[in-house]
Amino acid sequence: MNNLELEKTANEIRKGIVTAVHSAKCGHPGGSLSAADIFTYLYFEEMNIDPKNPKMEDRDRFVLSKGHVAPGLYSTLAERGFFPKEDLKTLRHTGSYLQGHPDMKHIPGVDMSSGSLGQGVSVAVGMAAAGKFDNKDYRVYALTGDGEIEEGQIWEAAMWAGHRKLDNLVVIVDNNNLQIDGPITEVCSPYPIDKKFEAFNFHVININGNDFDELRAAFKEARQTKGQPTAIIAKTLKGRGVSYMENSVDWHGKAPNDEQYEQAMEELTKAGEALCQK
Amino acid sequence: MSEVKKVATRDSYGAALVELGQEHENLIVLDADLAAATKTGVFKKAFPERHWDCGIAEANMTGIAAGLATCGKVPFVSTFAMFAAGRAYEQVRNAIGYPHLNVKIGATHAGISVGEDGASHQCLEDIALMREIPGMVVINPADDVEARAAVKAAYEHVGPVYLRFGRLAVPVINDVPDYKFEIGKGVVLKEGKDVTIFATGLEVKETMEAEKMLAADGIDAEIINIHTIKPIDRELVIASAKKTGKVVTVEEHSIIGGLGSAVCEVLCEEAPTKVLRIGVEDRFGESGPALELLHKYELDAEGIYKKVKNFLK
């Protein structure tokens, strides 16, 4: 996909996020929207996956360590054809397979259940180590939040990944600078994030995580990196694409009401139309 | 009298892993800098490429095991019970239990018989913690024979299994030609009519000794080894309780949440019976030689005998 196609796809995914969270009347739009371009690049360009065969043995794996942005992952999976887009409206509803946080037992395309912060990178490390052990070519991707890396287990996982030289592992930090209680710099600053991962023997790439040129270059560089895992520190804009949600901590875990939903969809529709005229 | 062979069940764990490792290429052993103590060191020697030391990071080790299981491996997570079930509880619950992944947890140094290390390392709560996780099998073997069989059964079982092992060398009691191990099946060691004593882990042997003392006093006790605390052998628990009308449970664990609770849960619903729970009362342990502690906490044969006698008064 070229960048324009990726941008159009990401815009559709953002519509799905807003629609799902509106229908659920709760959930986490802010971080889903900040990571939407990362999801798009991974699922439409980077990863070797097959929506018709979600459990394909040698597929690339993805672990959503920041599991609360499930709407972002689900909308991406639906857009990619793992399940019908209409189902996004059942998010968090009783009886729906689209659980509030990723559930690998019931959702096609979800490689690991997650949601309790800090645990996903360890699981991705296990997957990457299994791939190395079996001499498989598959790659493993984990997405964490910049608040999430306050959890100590992230660094246990990073230490072992660096120690074992897992160059088939890419940890992406969605660095939108906001966590529930406020800016990460005010709550418990994890900065400098890049220096920390470097100290844990990662190859580190700093990018704008809402820019497809930079995402493309970063993932290519990660593939070329041998003997170390890669950490991509992706600066993003929380709530990106919906004006009133952008860079607002209020929209970490809140659903738009009907009026706000209409406005969000109108903005995203206009953005989509603008992309079509490019 | 010939000397009784004594083996710590943690040694049985290591030995069984080596045997399984020869048969199964997908078995990977994880340890957290305790391979010498958990006895996975023998596996490391036999299969160095399949023994992964995760360093002193049990939460991460548990997550790595989950990731391995999603890729078709059968990981055995090895560390002390305190860290396997305590430190990494939430990782076990969310990364292994919730997705029902095929991970085996080999928890050594359970109970007060850890001895000199004291309360910080004497895990008395692990059965309770692990038993609550949906789909988790909890096995507490009594001796070397049972522990080896349990490790093999755990490998064959598809789904998470918590295996509880001890540090202390204990007498081998199941060394019989027709020994069979089946997950979820209690073993009647002696039939009786006056009282049923359900025991688990190294307390099985102590209970068998106590039974002899009770018999000398004319008390005909039924002794049942409950090696699998979850799923518990409901039918056997109910049938025996109905037969004797009096029940005692014995475990090297807190009296809250372990075997005693599991038995009471079954009986209160199906066959209300008066139950005496023998275990560590609602308290922490302390430092001391294992056998002295078992005596002090009345978890040796003499303590069990006294408590049962008092219960039957």
Nearest chain A Cα distance for residue B206, angstroms: 41
Question: What does residue A121 show for φ and ψ, rounded to 5 degrees?
Answer: -65, -40
- Cβ density class A107-145: b for 16+ within 10 Å, e for less: bbbbbbbbbbbbbbbbbbbbbbbbbbbbeeebbbbbbbb
Instruction: Note whether B152 and B226 are same-domain residues.
Output: no
Residue contact B63–A126, C-beta within 8 A? yes
Angle between helix axes A212-224 and A3-24 (nearest 10 degrees) is 100
The three-class DSSP label of residue B19 is: helix
Nearest chain B Cα distance for residue A117, angstroms: 10
Instruction: Note whether B196 and B159 are same-domain residues.
Output: no
What is the ipTM, given to two decimal places?
0.97
Question: What does residue A165 show for φ and ψ, rounded to 5 degrees?
Answer: 55, 50
Residue contact A105–B54, C-beta within 8 A? no
Q: Report the run of H or E that residue B128 belongs to, with start and end.
A: helix B126-131
pLDDT recorded at residue B2: 56
In a domain, B178, yes or no: no
Q: What whole-number distance in Å separates Cα of residue B165 and Cα of residue B11?
A: 9
In a domain, B254, yes or no: yes
Instruction: Note whether B11 and B158 are same-domain residues.
Output: yes
- Are the CB atoms for A24 and A255 separated by under 8 Å? yes
Domain boundary among B115, B147, B171: B171
Q: Is A111 on the interface with B (CB under 8 A)?
A: yes
- Are the CB atoms for A187 and A146 separated by under 8 Å? no
Instruction: Note whether B156 and B31 are same-domain residues.
Output: yes
- Where are the strands (E) in chain B, listed by range? 6-8, 27-31, 51-53, 74-80, 104-108, 137-139, 161-164, 169-171, 187-190, 195-199, 221-225, 228-230, 246-254, 274-280
How far does chain A reach from its first CA to its final CA, in angstroms?
A: 15
Residue contact A128–B67, C-beta within 8 A? yes
Closest by Cα among A221, A217, A237, A239 to A229 = A221
Report, in angstroms and rounded to the nearest whole number, the Rg of chain B calculated over CA atoms.
19
Running along chain B, 313 residues long, what does each successive block of 10 average in pLDDT? Answer: 83 98 98 97 98 98 98 98 98 98 98 97 98 98 98 98 97 91 98 98 98 98 98 98 98 98 97 98 98 98 98 96
pLDDT recorded at residue B4: 81
Instruction: Note whether B139 and B271 are same-domain residues.
Output: no
Contacts of B23 (CB under 8 A, 6+ apart): none
Residue contact B63–A125, C-beta within 8 A? yes
pLDDT tens-place string over residues A214-273 = 999 999 999 999 999 999 999 999 999 999 999 999 999 999 999 999 999 999 999 999
Residues 90-149 of B with CB under 8 A from A: 90-91, 94-95, 98-100
In a domain, B179, yes or no: no
Per DSSP bridges, beta strands A230-235 and B6-8 are unpaired
- DSSP summary character for residue B40: T
The two tokens of residue A64 are 């959503």
Nearest chain A Cα distance for residue B57, angstroms: 6
Residue contact A119–B63, C-beta within 8 A? yes
Instruction: Give the CA distances from residue A230 to residues A18, A39, A198, in Å, rounded to whole numbers and listed in that order.
Output: 31, 17, 9
Chain A residues lying within 8 Å of B59, measured CB to CB = 118-119, 122, 152-153, 156
Domain boundary among B124, B141, B171: B171
pLDDT recorded at residue B1: 46
In a domain, B255, yes or no: yes
Q: What whole-number distance in Å separates Cα of residue A67 and Cα of residue B270?
A: 41
In a domain, B176, yes or no: no
Q: How many domains does chain B have?
A: 2
In a domain, B222, yes or no: yes
Contacts of B14 (CB under 8 A, 6+ apart): B38, B39, B40, B41, B42, B43
Confidence class for position A60, pLDDT limits 50, 70, 90 = very high
In a domain, B177, yes or no: no
Instruction: Note whether B18 and B167 are same-domain residues.
Output: yes
Instruction: Note whether B230 and B279 are same-domain residues.
Output: yes
Name the residue among A111, A131, A153 with its Cβ closest to that of B60.
Answer: A153
Q: Is B28 on the interface with A (CB under 8 A)?
A: yes
Name the residue among A104, A122, A134 with its Cβ closest to that of B60.
Answer: A122
Residue contact B57–A123, C-beta within 8 A? no
Instruction: Note whether B249 and B166 are same-domain residues.
Output: no
B50, B68, B70, best to mutate vs chain A, most A CBs in 10 Å: B70
Q: What whole-number distance in Å separates Cα of residue B7 and Cα of residue A276?
A: 74
Closest by Cα among A260, A172, A119 to B60 = A119
Q: Is A177 on the interface with B (CB under 8 A)?
A: no
Instruction: Note whether B155 and B202 are same-domain residues.
Output: no
B29, B64, B133, best to mutate vs chain A, most A CBs in 10 Å: B64
Q: What whole-number distance in Å separates Cα of residue A157 and Cα of residue A162?
A: 9
Chain B residues lying within 8 Å of A161, measured CB to CB = none
Find the domain containing B205 and state its range.
187-312
Q: Which of B19, B58, B209, B251 is catalytic?
A: B58
Chain A residues lying within 8 Å of B53, measured CB to CB = none
Contacts of A192 (CB under 8 A, 6+ apart): none
For the question of whether the overall pTM of this predicted structure is more than 0.90, the answer is yes
Instruction: Note whether B243 and B137 are same-domain residues.
Output: no
Complete edge-to-edge strand list for the sheet that includes strand B195-199: B187-190, B221-225, B195-199, B246-254, B274-280
- Cβ density class B126-139: b for 16+ within 10 Å, e for less: bbbbbbebeebbbb
Chain B residues lying within 8 Å of A152, measured CB to CB = 59
For chain A, the average pLDDT equals 98
Q: What CATH number does the domain containing B204 carry?
A: 3.40.50.920
Chain B residues lying within 8 Å of A128, measured CB to CB = 67
Residue contact A104–B99, C-beta within 8 A? yes
Closest by Cα among A261, A229, A258 to A245 = A261
Instruction: Note whether B151 and B19 are same-domain residues.
Output: yes
Nearest chain A Cα distance for residue B103, angstroms: 12
- Are the CB atoms for B116 and B167 separated by under 8 Å? no
Q: What whole-number distance in Å separates Cα of residue A245 and Cα of residue A72?
A: 15
Complete edge-to-edge strand list for the sheet that includes strand A203-208: A61-64, A140-145, A169-175, A230-235, A203-208
Name the residue among B54, B72, B91 with its Cβ closest to that of A119.
Answer: B91
Instruction: Note whether B200 and B281 are same-domain residues.
Output: yes
Domain boundary among B121, B145, B171: B171
Is B58 assigned a catalytic role? Answer: yes
- DSSP summary character for residue B211: H
In a domain, B98, yes or no: yes
